[in-house]
């Protein structure tokens, strides 16, 4: 078998918004509001997971949601029905959010008295990984149908995430998704991320996620 | 129910590479090489579809494949096993390919005597839609598990595509994927795209795709 040629093609687009993100994070800490940057591919089940999460935590804490999309506002209506305060961010074609965009969203949402805000980032495994939004924690979702090889192909997203959720575990077998191989692939890039396999449809694995959220909010508000 | 606030957040990153793309397309036409820009989310089954396509067309025409990824070269080895000449493009973190990157890849691949080249773009439903790579046709894949609402959320990708393939149709029912609603959503954005539901796993719908490729290559080489 011939060796495959590998060609490195380059371009520099990274913008530095680290300072703005750090200032926002500090301000959120002062307000005792925790912000989670939720990232994934399109169609990985972010909104479904959020709905199931809200069903379990509404009443116990005040939750806000910022739904970012290139277009449409279907997701914001969905999470609002689950009891969260919600705003929709339109990025006008942009593939990610930065700290300034996140801040605009928080201003519109209002964070007074809000314990936890989810930023549902644009569906994209590449660009959002490069930008600090000011969030307290980065959580990414990979759905089982996407395949266990994805940490090899989108390494930065797996490197920067504190939690890696594997969604749609109820169909893992049909798609030959190996959790063991996936974990090995994640570990090559990120030895510290917490990996949480779950299914919002069957409820399997949801408890670990909910308990993790409770613990993180409590620690942030101390 | 409260009305959802919609906030428009902006930033300008579009680079103009239209002239380079047009020149490349003309050169490919002179060489009678057709180039297809294949775009989708991560894990939509691009590589599996390519393998099934190569199995049906190798021998009949000479096919080359450029696999673009942020990292890894697993896909290039896979398609090479199916009989295609293959190169791997590493984008070094970049979320899309432009015409100059595509041209670098074609130079390494070599197009002399090649009838058809597939450019497997980076897995991303947003950024690749904005850049003309010089390809003859743009084909996008949406997998049924991603959901029939995606044309509303990633409109540009659906607008620019000549063909919209729906992959993994064998699991459409399990994921409550409605082909009818999907087609309606696509049509709002793009009245002309050819929509091809198929499953590379079961072979369902593959014939329409193969026949379309044959017709396009013949027309391009006339």
Does the model's pTM come out above 0.90? no
A17 near B CB under 8 A:
no
Structure tokens at B196: 């091809």
A148 near B CB under 8 A:
no
Q: What is the mean pLDDT of chain B?
A: 90
In a domain, B149, yes or no: yes
B76 near A CB under 8 A:
yes
- pLDDT score at B62: 96
Predicted confidence (pLDDT) at residue B1 exceeds the cutoff of 80? no
CB contact under 8 A, B95 and A156: no
Number of domains in chain B: 1
Q: What is the nearest CA distance from B95 to chain A, expressed in angstroms?
A: 6
**% of residues, chain B, pLDDT over 70:** 93
Read off the pLDDT of residues B43-98 as tens digits, 9 standing for 90 and up. 999 989 999 999 999 999 999 999 988 777 778 888 889 988 898 888 877 888 88
In a domain, B131, yes or no: yes
Interface confidence, given as ipTM, is 0.81
A–B interface: beta-carbon pairs under 8 A:
199
Q: What is the nearest CA distance from A173 to chain B, expressed in angstroms?
A: 13
Question: What percent helix, strand, coil does chain A show, rounded to 5?
Answer: 40, 20, 40
Ranges of residues in chain A whose predicted pLDDT is under 70:
1-16
Cβ-nearest to A152 among B71, B90, B147? B71
Cβ neighbours of A109 in B, within 8 Å = 5
In a domain, B5, yes or no: no
- pLDDT score at B6: 55
First to last CA, chain A: 59
- pLDDT score at A6: 56
- pLDDT score at B172: 95
Q: Which helix (H) or strand (E) covers residue B7, if one does?
A: strand B5-8
A20 near B CB under 8 A:
no
Cβ-nearest to A9 among B4, B89, B109? B89
Eight-state DSSP code of residue B196: E
DSSP B62-77: -EEEEEEESS--HHHH
Q: Which ranges of B82-199 would DSSP assign to H, the alpha helix? A: 99-109, 150-153, 155-160, 179-189
CB contact under 8 A, B105 and A171: no
- pLDDT score at A17: 84
B130 near A CB under 8 A:
yes
- pLDDT score at A10: 40
In B, minimum Cα distance to A79 occurs at B4
How would you write B141-161 as a 3-class SS string? EEEHHHCCCHHHHCHHHHHHC
Structure tokens at B117: 């080249």
In a domain, A195, yes or no: yes
DSSP A60-128: TB-EEEEEEESS--HHHHHHHHTT-EEEEEE-TT-SS--HHHHHHHHHHH--TT--EEEEE--S-SSGG
A3 near B CB under 8 A:
no
Torsion, Cα A19 A21 A22 A24, to 10 degrees, reads 120
Per the listing, tokens 């997971």 go with: A49
Predicted confidence (pLDDT) at residue B12 exceeds the cutoff of 50? no
Give the range of the structural domain holding residue B107, as residue numbers without chain letter.
Answer: 23-220
In a domain, A97, yes or no: yes
Count CA atoms within 13 Å of residue B144 on its CB side: 20
What's the sign of the alpha-carbon dihedral B36, B37, B43, B44? negative
**Residue B99, domain CATH:** 3.40.50.300
CB contact under 8 A, B130 and A90: no
- pLDDT score at A16: 66
Cβ-nearest to B145 among A43, A101, A153? A43
In a domain, B15, yes or no: no
Instruction: Provide Rg for chain B, Cα atoms.
Output: 17
CB contact under 8 A, B108 and A174: no
Read off the pLDDT of residues B113-161 as tens digits, 9 standing for 90 and up. 999 999 999 999 999 999 999 999 999 999 999 999 999 989 999 999 9
In a domain, B13, yes or no: no
Under the banding of pLDDT at 50, 70 and 90, the label for residue B187 is very high
Q: Which helix (H) or strand (E) covers residue A219, if one does?
A: helix A206-221
Q: Other CB atoms closer than 10 Å to residue B211's CB: what's the count?
A: 10
In a domain, B9, yes or no: no
Q: What is the nearest CA distance from A144 to chain B, expressed in angstroms?
A: 9
Cβ-nearest to B80 among A1, A10, A70? A1
Cβ-nearest to B89 among A7, A90, A123? A7
């Amino acid at each position: 078998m011939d060796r495959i040629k590998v060609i490195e093609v380059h371009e520099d687009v990274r913008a530095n918004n680290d300072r703005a993100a750090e200032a926002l994070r500090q301000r959120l800490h002062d307000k005792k509001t925790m912000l989670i940057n939720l990232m994934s591919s399109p169609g990985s089940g972010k909104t479904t997971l959020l709905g199931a999460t809200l069903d379990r935590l509404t009443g116990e804490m005040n939750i806000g949601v910022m739904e970012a999309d290139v277009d449409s506002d279907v997701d914001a209506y969905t999470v609002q029905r689950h009891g969260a305060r919600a705003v929709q961010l339109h990025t006008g074609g942009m593939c990610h959010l930065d700290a300034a965009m996140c801040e605009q969203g928080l201003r519109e949402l209002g964070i007074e008295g809000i314990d936890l805000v989810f930023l549902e980032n644009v569906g994209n495994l590449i660009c959002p990984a490069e930008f600090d939004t000011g969030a307290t924690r980065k959580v990414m979702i990979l759905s089982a149908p996407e395949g266990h090889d994805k940490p090899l192909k989108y390494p930065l997203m797996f490197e920067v995430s504190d939690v890696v959720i594997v969604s749609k575990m109820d169909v893992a077998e049909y798609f030959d998704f190996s959790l063991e191989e996936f974990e090995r692939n994640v570990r090559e890039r990120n030895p510290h991320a917490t990996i949480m396999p779950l299914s919002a449809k069957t409820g399997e694995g949801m408890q670990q996620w909910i308990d993790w959220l409770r613990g993180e909010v409590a620690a942030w508000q101390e």
